[in-house]
Structure 1
Amino acid sequence: MAVRGSQARRAEIVHLARSSGLASVEELSVQFGVTASTIRRDLGQLTSEGLIARTYGGAIALDPQPESSLRQRALEGYQAKHDIARWAATQVQPGETVLLDAGTTVGAMGEYLCDVAGLTVVTAGLTALEALADADDVRVECIGGTLRHLSQGFVGPIAEASLQRLTFDRAFLGADAVNAELGICEAELEQTRLKEMMIERAGTVYVLAHANKLGGRPFHAWAPIPPGTTLITDDSATDAQTGPFTAAGLSVVRAPRS
């Protein structure tokens, strides 16, 4: 498997380490078609960012953490997230007012919305704010509130009060996991409460989640997903993964790989 670009390669290394636990420098060198020294540089960078832990003999293992930081999640499923974000952005029409949730996948939409005429973007996340900071033709509003440092998103009563004064043509929501029966999974109840309000205030709702998040339940806070919502995932999602969502009344889109 050849992965072009150091960022994409490092994202795949993190994914492999998480799924298998250990991987040697030699194995990674063969798999990615690069030299062992290149892999060692990748491992050094990932170690400095706290994404992996080095072990003896050049093997690596992820340093476990109950909730991943935004920096960690940015490298997980990098290609899939951008495929999803790119397709989601095509749904936005000129002149609309849209909500972008916090998170890396939804935040990645910002770079694909910079040239949409007459667009207003309301966001709860710093990732989207950064992506749209130089988009002079896009009106950007931030709902404010208490910043969750791990997710780089705003929550709490100030954020909820802001939402009560707004409505949206479309809302794009992120998730730590998505379950057809239980809904959107997050680490804390204040996050799921905010998502419920976002759903209530939007005309059309989208949930963005790559295949590894489908069917999971890593935490115990949930926001129900109403029928008619569109789930956007990547093209690696299987029928077995997406079938329960279709049965629950959601539309499922597998974003094509770019």
Structure 2
Amino acid sequence: MATEREKEILNFLGKKSPLTVEELAASLHVSEVTVRRDLTAMERQGLIVRKRGGASLPELGFEPMFNQRQKKNIELKQAIAKYAASMIQEGEVIALDVGTTTAELARELAKRSGITVFTSCIQVASILAKSNLQVYMIGGLIRKSEMSMVGSIAQETILKFNFDRFYLGIAGISQDAGPTDYSIEETEIKRAFIQRSKEVVALVDRTKFGESSLIKVCEAERIDEVITNGGDFGGPHPEAHFRGKITYV
């Protein structure tokens, strides 16, 4: 969760990006040392990109590292994961996407049995490795920044199977752009899972509504349900950006 000063920095960068440390310090009426400390913390969270002598907002194609995103909005992601896990029945065959919220879902499912899980995400497979679940890891080319499998081998493997439900992770969803993500390679894998799944459930924390990234994942109508957070949104309301079924947790 961003501090008040971090929110001010984001607000300034939203008006002009990049800004130097000196410019931010003058605008915030704090020391340059304080600004540098804030920028370091914000970079770890994936909120900004450090530039020489300053910072900027991430571009559409910029993907924060998995471990940066993992700590961001963790309580929101855990609430989504807990609800999603409660809806999965024994005997189902599901697919879990790469992503920090799907990793939280894997932690919930690790307590269960009688479920078959397919995934292209090494983190998810690692979490489930000691569980009582039947876990299939999709092979392919390792995308090292996300520790996930991509490429033609992964796509061809996915298309051989059928899934009851695919739990989709996305970078953002907006009325204009639809569901989007950072990576072309990851999006190809998402589309393969979507093609072979009876249902698609997107796990989208409330901060992602109104956001858009590099590439459109699918038509919004292909998503059967979005699970997100209730409460004070402090930004775009989900129903302004997704017209289908929304479950608030």
Give the 3 Å change call, closer, same or farther, for CA 141–94 of structure 1 in structure 2.
Answer: same
CA contact (8 A) 2:45 2:69 kept: no
User: Structure 1 CA distance, aligned partners of 2:177 and 2:42?
Assistant: 35
User: 2:81: which partner in 1?
Assistant: 85
Gaps of 5+ in 2: 14-23, 26-36
Summarize the alignment of residues 9-48 of structure 1 with structure 2, pairs less than 5 Å apart: 12=2, 16=7, 19=10, 46=41
Query: For the aligned residues, what is the CA RMSD?
Result: 3.4
Q: Provide the TM-score with structure 2 as the length reference.
A: 0.75
User: Structure 2 CA distance, aligned partners of 1:73 and 1:228?
Assistant: 23
Q: Provide the TM-score with structure 1 as the length reference.
A: 0.72
Task: State how many pairs are aligned.
Answer: 222
User: Structure 1 CA distance, aligned partners of 2:128 and 2:6?
Assistant: 28
| 1:126 paired to 2:125 | no
The correspondence for 2:148, drawn from 145, 148, 153, is: 153
User: 2:247: which partner in 1?
Assistant: 253
Gaps of 5+ in 1: 1-10, 25-41, 55-59
CA contact (8 A) 1:103 1:152 kept: no
Q: Secondary structure at the match of 2:154?
A: helix
Q: Deviations over 1:148-192 (max 9, x none)?
A: 222222211011011111111111010111224433211232222
What code does the residue aligned with 1:174 have?
Answer: G
| 1:70 paired to 2:66 | yes
CA contact (8 A) 1:237 1:254 kept: no
Q: Secondary structure at the match of 1:172?
A: strand
Summarize the alignment of residues 207-218 of structure 1 with structure 2, pairs less than 5 Å apart: 207-218=202-213
The correspondence for 1:198, drawn from 193, 202, 206, is: 193
TM-fit CA distance, 1:239: 9.4
CA contact (8 A) 1:182 1:223 kept: no
User: 1:233: which partner in 2?
Assistant: 228
User: 1:172: which partner in 2?
Assistant: 167
| 1:94 paired to 2:85 | no
Q: Deviations over 1:108-145 (max 9, x none)?
A: 1111112333111111112211221211x101101121
Give the 3 Å change call, closer, same or farther, for CA 201–238 of structure 1 in structure 2.
Answer: farther
What code does the residue aligned with 1:104 have?
Answer: T
User: Structure 2 CA distance, aligned partners of 1:134 and 1:174?
Assistant: 23
Between 232-241 and 187-196, the greater mean CA deviation after superposition: 232-241
Q: Secondary structure at the match of 1:140?
A: strand
| 1:116 paired to 2:80 | no
Q: Percent identity?
A: 25
Q: Secondary structure at the match of 1:71?
A: helix
Give the 3 Å change call, closer, same or farther, for CA 128–12 of structure 1 in structure 2.
Answer: farther
Q: Secondary structure at the match of 1:121?
A: strand
CA contact (8 A) 1:100 1:106 kept: yes
